Amino acid sequence: MSAALQFLLQGFCFYVFIYFQLDPENTGFIAVENFTSLVEHHELQLDPSKLDMLLALVQSNEEGQVCYQELIELMSSKRSSSFRRAIANGRRTLQREILLDETGLGLYKRFVRYVAYEILPCETDRRWYFHQNRLCPPPVFIAIVTIVQIIVFMCYGIMLNKWVLQTYQPDFMKSPLVYHPGHRAQVWRFFSYMFMHVGLEQLGFNALLQLMIGVPLEMVHGILRISLLYMAGVLAGSLTVSITDMRAPVVGGSGGVYALCSAHLANVVMNWAGMRCPYKLLRMILALVCMSSEVGRAVWLRFSPPLPSSGPQPSFMAHLSGAVVGISMGLLILRSYEESLQKQCSWWVIVFSFITFLLFAIFWNIFAYELLGVQIPPPP
């Protein structure tokens, strides 16, 4: 038997022993005293580096119990190598003190601590993020998107001399950024519509949520993952409208915003006991009310426009498809802090599903409009 296979079998036996002997009630947690005694006196020949990781995990725990799932993640390859090295180094790298007990912090470090408690459900993850956080690269994606959206809105507001319900102005719909079914051959419109907004109320709502939720998420999970999630929500929004509301245009960054918000809210619900953000229930209810109100407003503008218009008003389906992207792709991203997505089967299932949807939408946009005889309003 090879050494690698032997270690694998020994590790499996170790997990099984822990699960059935130290957690007979299937609570998911193991008492620190029992776990320490097992690690120090067990007869299985485990990798010495993994033994160090186990002891460091126990030493860094302040709640008197070890999470079985956290143990599995640390001992397997799910966690990044840098995270495992920090655990193996124990107190030398990963501080034991609860972050809320640390004093003498500067303004930026206090903000980092606030972000850690807002986003991460595990104290080990929070301490790791806090002590390893660097301002390079800075969270610039959400900030740049928001600034560009404000600049574009200001330009059109000055040009049209109108700051609310801009979509009722014919010149607004002539913008090369707006998605219009008559211009769907211009591929960039499936993305660029996120820079246009119906009015000041939609821009303010989206910008506020982007900055309040998107920036902390980008600080913790990085620019690549959060930009991927945001843009996936934007693309899914325009493609969904082209399939389900074929005569309607689309404006606003709601697809990306709802992808971020839905992913974060779903992550909070899935890790409710571990989240330490203050007033989380009240904030959850407030966020759901605001998001539902925005969807209701979009539905009202779509089907009961308050002013005469030359064609259909922007669709609300981008909001809903963005939420679906957030609950599926986004939730997996947020639950995989310091873990490799490429090594998770569920990640590839989601990627395959999104690519399948993308290919279906492309064929739909090429053939369905003519086959179904959809009367598209003339493009402005």
d(CA 298, CA 320): 11
d(CA 27, CA 335): 20
Is residue 319 flagged as an active site residue? yes
Query: Crossing angle of helices 141-160/200-209, nearest 10°?
Result: 170
Nearest to 238 by CA among 202, 300, 191: 191
Peptide bond preceding 137: is omega within 30 degrees of 0, i.e. cis? Answer: yes
Angle at 151 between CA 149 and CA 157, to 5 degrees: 100
Of 175, 227, 242, 254, which is the active-site residue? 254
Q: How far is CA 230 from the centre of its chain?
A: 8
DSSP string, 103-147: -S--HHHHHHHHHHHHH---HHHHHHHHHH--SSS---HHHHHHH
Q: How far is CA 63 from the centre of its chain?
A: 28
Nearest to 314 by CA among 223, 236, 253: 253
d(CA 218, CA 166): 31
Please give the structure tokens belonging to residue 344: 């998770």
Of 180, 221, 264, 319, which is the active-site residue? 319
Burial 227-263 (b: 16+ CB within 10 A, else e): bbbbbbbbbbbbbbbbbebbbbbbbbbbbbbbbbbbb
Is residue 336 flagged as an active site residue? no
d(CA 182, CA 72): 53
Catalytic sites, residue numbers:
254, 319
